A and B are shown apart, each in its own frame.
Chain A
Amino acid sequence: MVTKYDTVIGLEIHVALQTESKFICGCSTEFGAPPNSHCCPICLGLPGALPVLNEKAVEYAIKTGMALNCEINRFSKFDRKNYFYPDMPTAYQITQDAFPICSKGYLEYYYEDKLIKTSLNRIHLECEAGKLIHSGDSIIDSDFSLVDYNRAGIALIEIVTEPDMSAPKQARTFLEQLRLLLNYIGVSDTKMEEGSLRCDANISLKPRGSTVLGPKVELKNLNSFRSLERGLEYEEQRQTEVLEQGGEIRQETRTWNERTGKTASMRSKGDAPDYRFFPEPDLPPLNIDESRVEAISLSIPELPLERLHRLESEYGLSRYESTFLTNYPEFGGLFFELIGKKLQSGAVVNFLMGDYARLAREKGHLTASRIGELLEILKEGLINNNQGKDVLEELYKSEQSPREIVKEKGWEMVSDASELEGVIARILSENPELVSRYENGEDKLFGFFVGQVMRATRGKGDPEVVNSLLRKELGQ
């Protein structure tokens, strides 16, 4: 008998908050500065220096908690997590162990066309460590490492989910949607490549139908959405094989190796570090008053799921279109600006998702006013869709407005009937054979005549006028 297994996944996500200054001191959080140039006695852990916490970081943590339906704890505390590591100047991390700032909560999102919820356990504030650069390819085969404390002391939030997800792909979707939400509320730039969004995963298997979780494996070094999904897939597969061969899963921490596509054991449960948590004596407990909570709640913008549903219900867009505009907020932003210019939602979304999407990704976004004018002249019939594409290309090359471009290039559509009648008469007289075949029922030749007219007018013929004149001439 083959046992089927259910996968159980939970995530721990570290998010660097986008404050101007660090969490514990006034040093700048700017990325990419020369090493050890954004440091002071506090973030260097010099003897006697004391942390003073950044108000904005606390507000951002609360804001995130609210956007994720958490309970905002009016009372929370800070603890020290003690461990030696070269990137941690005080040899302890200021974090919140026993009393986090936010508890519970959930994120609701679409996964495989179903609206689902992933529950959160908590969100807590903590302090970022410095950055290590290794002399070799990896930490293990380096003779020495270099330490830069510019990052040390920046505010982090750690978002901990419940073991609530059942597939690697779901975990990835969750993380993508969480990231989107964090972008919407503006608390973090969430750049995985710069480390401002990091994710560890816990994964365990249990026999299908069982309620008892198997020993969990903690997965580290998941540096991209792709790594998260691949690492979990590998681990799901590995654990299944071990179990099917009658083996046992060890509770351990494993690290994902992007190059080999495998996970490797880092340490087992027995070697789990003893962090010796205790209340941070340098920081009093944090009491959050009602007025602060209220003020923060007013600063929360429309969230992704709300936007998605509004695009569907208010603008009649499809799930696909709404998802596109929600997931790419710059496109969504343009959409709402353009809609304000009395343009049809269908025309706008088609435009944004069409050639524009390709160009915008390559070359960046155009302003809503230039796009709006382009859509306007298309609607007016000044140019046709083909010319619309040319104008769009031109907009990336010149500073001119769409109308100016059309005028300068002489791309106005020809919709003058007498001019087009002449062209049509000439084309029909040049092709008597085809005219008679058409008259004998070969309907598809109508398109050929349209094409000939358009070619003769170099694409400027107004398709509607051309169609109706042709029909008249061909005796319909």
Chain B
Amino acid sequence: MSGLISRDEVIRIADLARLDLSDTEVEQYQKDLNNLLSSGKKLQNVDVNDTKKTSHAVSMVHELRKDEVEASLPQEVVLSAGSKVMDGFFQVPRIVEEQE
């Protein structure tokens, strides 16, 4: 189907978002995304000129915290909800890429 987003693009996005989608889902989301984006495209017609961006609704003073140590959670509580733990650590399967 033609549209803003290709099937490959949908797969790339799913990969970026770490979502294992079925073929049917890929098809469905391709359709949904194209519909939603053609609506979203309307925004591009708004004349924003030199309008500033709003990332926070209300301007506020950033209150910082004093550098004081507070109690942490006990290790067993930290680990309690992890589905795989080992020797006080969370366990994860093989990592296939390096990160900074």
**Interface positions of A (Cβ within 8 A of B):** 19-21, 25-28, 34-41, 44, 52-58, 77, 83-87, 132-134, 139-140, 142-149, 200, 220, 255, 266-267, 274, 276, 278-279, 281, 283-287
- Check B88–A34 contact: CB distance below 8 A: yes
**How many Å from the CB of B57 to the closest CB on chain A?**
10
- Tier of interface size on chain B: 35 or more
Q: Are A86 and B95 in contact (CB under 8 A)?
A: yes
How far in angstroms is the closest Cβ of chain A from B63? 8
B55 CB within 8 Å of chain A: yes
- Are A26 and B68 CB-contacts (below 8 A) given A133-B89, A146-B89? yes
* Interface window among B2-10, B21-29, B33-41, B71-79: B71-79
Q: Which of A35, A133, A276 contacts B75 (CB 8 A)?
A: A35
With A19-B67, A20-B68, A284-B56 as contacts: A35 and B87 at CB distance below 8 Å: yes
> What are 24 A-B contacts with C-beta separation under 8 Å?
A20-B67, A20-B69, A21-B65, A21-B70, A36-B75, A37-B74, A37-B75, A37-B78, A39-B72, A40-B73, A41-B73, A44-B78, A53-B64, A54-B67, A133-B89, A134-B95, A144-B92, A145-B91, A149-B90, A200-B100, A220-B100, A279-B55, A284-B60, A287-B61
Q: Which of B62, B72, B87 contacts A38 (CB 8 A)?
A: B72
Evaluate contact between B94 and A144: CB separation under 8 angstroms: yes
Per the bound structure, the CA–CA distance linking A57 and B64 in Å amounts to 10
Query: Within the assembled complex, what's the spacing in Å between the Cα atoms of A53 and B93?
Result: 32
With a CB–CB cut-off of 8 A, which chain B residues contact A39? 72-73, 78
Interface assignment of B42: CB less than 8 Å from any CB of chain A: no
Besides A36-B78, A38-B72, 5 other A-B contacts (C-beta < 8 A): A26-B71, A87-B99, A147-B91, A220-B98, A255-B98
Chain A at the B interface: mostly helix, strand, loop or mixed? loop
Cβ–Cβ contact B90 & A146, under 8 A: yes
Closest to A12 in B: B100
Q: Is the CB of A132 within 8 A of B95?
A: yes
Decide if B87 touches A147 in the complex (CB within 8 Å).
no
Q: A360 to chain B: closest CB distance in Å?
A: 33
For B70, what are the chain A residues with a Cβ–Cβ distance below 8 Å? 21, 25-27, 40
Q: Which of A77, A84, A139, A279 contacts B18 (CB 8 A)?
A: A84
Closest 9 CB pairs of A and B: A26-B70, A146-B89, A56-B67, A279-B55, A55-B64, A35-B88, A284-B62, A147-B90, A86-B92
**From A83, A145, A200, contact of B95 by CB (8 A):** A145
Chain B's interface: helix, strand, loop or mixed, by majority? loop
A144 touches B75 (CB 8 A): no
Is B48 in the interface zone, CB < 8 Å from A? no
The chain A residue sitting closest to B93, CB to CB, is A144
Which residues of chain A are within 8 angstroms of B55 by Cβ–Cβ distance?
77, 278-279, 281
Which residues of B sit under 8 angstroms from A34, Cβ to Cβ? 75, 88
Q: What CA separation (Å) do A58 and B95 show in the bound complex?
A: 33
Task: Determine if B43 is an interface residue (Cβ-Cβ < 8 Å).
Answer: no
A283 partner, pick from B59, B62, B92, beta carbons under 8 A = B62
Q: How far is the CB of A277 from chain B (nearest CB, A)?
A: 12
Nearest-CB distance from A156 to chain B (Å)? 11
- The answer to whether residues A146 and B87 also contact, given A132-B95, A255-B98 and a CB cut-off of 8 A, is yes
| Residue of B61, B79, B87, B99 with highest tally of chain A CB at under 10 A | B99
**CB within 8 A of A58: which of B59, B64, B74, B97?**
B64
Most buried by B among A35, A77, A286: A35
Given A266-B98, A279-B55, check contact A287 B62 (CB 8 Å): yes
State the CA gap A19–B86 with chains docked (Å): 29
* Distance A28 CA – B71 CA, assembled complex (angstroms): 8
B89 contact set on A, CB distance < 8 A:
35-36, 133, 146-148
Instruction: Give Cα distance in the complex from A53 to B67, angstroms.
Output: 9
Q: Smallest CB–CB gap between A206 and chain B, Å? A: 26
Residues of chain B with a CB closer than 8 A to A77's CB: 55
Query: How close is B59's CB to chain A, nearest CB, in angstroms?
Result: 8
Are B92 and A55 neighbours in the complex by a CB distance under 8 Å?
A: no
Is there an interface contact between B88 and A40, defined as CB atoms closer than 8 Å? no
Residues of B within 8 A of A200 (CB): 100
CB closest chain-A residue, reference B77: A39
What is the 8 Å Cβ interface bit string for chain B, positions 10-24, against chain A (1 contact, 0 not)? 000000101000000
A139 near B65 (CB under 8 angstroms)?
A: no
Q: Is the CB of A281 within 8 A of B56?
A: yes
Could you tell me the distance in whole angstroms from the C-beta of A37 to the nearest C-beta in chain B?
5
Most A C-beta atoms less than 10 A away, residue of B16, B60, B62, B79: B62
CA distance A35 to B69 in the complex (A): 18
Whole-angstrom CA separation of A185 from B84 in the bound complex: 42
Q: How far is the CA of A40 from the CA of B73 in the complex (A)?
A: 5
Please tell me if the beta carbons of A36 and B90 are within 8 angstroms of each other in the complex: yes
Asked if residues B62 and A21 are in contact (CB atoms below 8 Å), the reply is no
B4: min CB distance to chain A, Å: 18
Q: Tell me, in angstroms, the Cα distance from A286 to B59 when the chains sit together.
A: 11
Measured in the bound complex, the distance between the Cα atoms of B70 and A25 in whole Å is 8
Q: Are B87 and A21 in contact (CB under 8 A)?
A: no
